[in-house]
Amino acid sequence: MIVVEGRDDTKRIQLAVNADTIETNGSAINEEVLDRIEHAQQKRGVIVFTDPDVPGEKIRKIISRRIPGVKHAFLNRDEAQPGKKGSLGIEHASVETIRKALEGLYSEKIDATPTVDRSFLLKEGLIGHPNAKDLRIKLGNALRIGYTNGKQLEKRLNMFGVSQESVEQALKEIREEETNGRT
């Protein structure tokens, strides 16, 4: 069962995969919808797949706090935007991009041992550095964990059990791509 924000998202998802959806009808998610999501999690399992924007993150957080064990799929902003201007959302993503996002699911690790710490993020330039935001955007895209600010990055990496080695590998590839792009 895939949780999306609205009916346009449902239509797009159904072009990409054979799945049922629950629509939150935007960020004003109510108790009835949360109860349906909770029931679906108990019976079938749930994937939260919201837009890569502030309301989408708000919905994701509300669901995660209420219903442990849901899985998460992410699109990056470029994949969810039809050109340079316009709305941002799953309904604008290509069918192939949606399939790719649904293949790279993350599960929350409850009471997991932290995999990365603040000092590592600082050392790698992901926080406290003039270009940290750009690097976090690229890392979020590479790992398919969505955009995060500095505080959220540490929490999200640990919540999903992303290893320090995975972050280092992704950063290595990002830096190589930047170097090759400048040559």
Same domain (yes/no): 14, 83: yes
- Count of CB atoms within 10 A of residue 32's CB? 8
CATH number at residue 73: 3.40.1360.10
List pLDDT tens digits, range 118-150. Answer: 999 999 999 999 999 999 999 999 999 988 898
Q: Which structural domain range is residue 25 located in? A: 1-108
Same domain (yes/no): 3, 88: yes
Same domain (yes/no): 9, 83: yes
- For residue 169, which amino acid is it? Q
Same domain (yes/no): 40, 80: yes
Same domain (yes/no): 28, 73: yes
The reported pTM is 0.82
Same domain (yes/no): 7, 50: yes
Residue where a domain terminates, one of 92, 108, 124: 108
Same domain (yes/no): 86, 154: no
List pLDDT tens digits, range 3-21. Answer: 999 999 999 999 999 999 9
Residuewise pLDDT in 10s, the chain (183 residues): 999 999 999 999 999 999 999 999 877 799 999 999 999 999 999 999 999 988 999 999 999 999 989 999 999 888 888 655 667 889 999 999 999 999 989 988 776 688 899 999 999 999 999 999 999 999 999 999 988 898 899 989 998 889 999 999 999 999 998 888 764
**CB-CB contact of 124 with 154 (8 Å):** no
Model pLDDT, residue 87 = 77
Q: Residue 74 and residue 159: Cα distance in Å, rounded?
A: 15
Same domain (yes/no): 123, 55: no
The structural domain count of the chain equals 2
The strand order across the sheet containing 47-48 reads 21-23, 2-4, 47-48, 71-72, 106-107
Model pLDDT, residue 79 = 86
Closest CA to 147 of 94, 99, 98, 80: 80
Tokens 């940290």 label which residue?
132
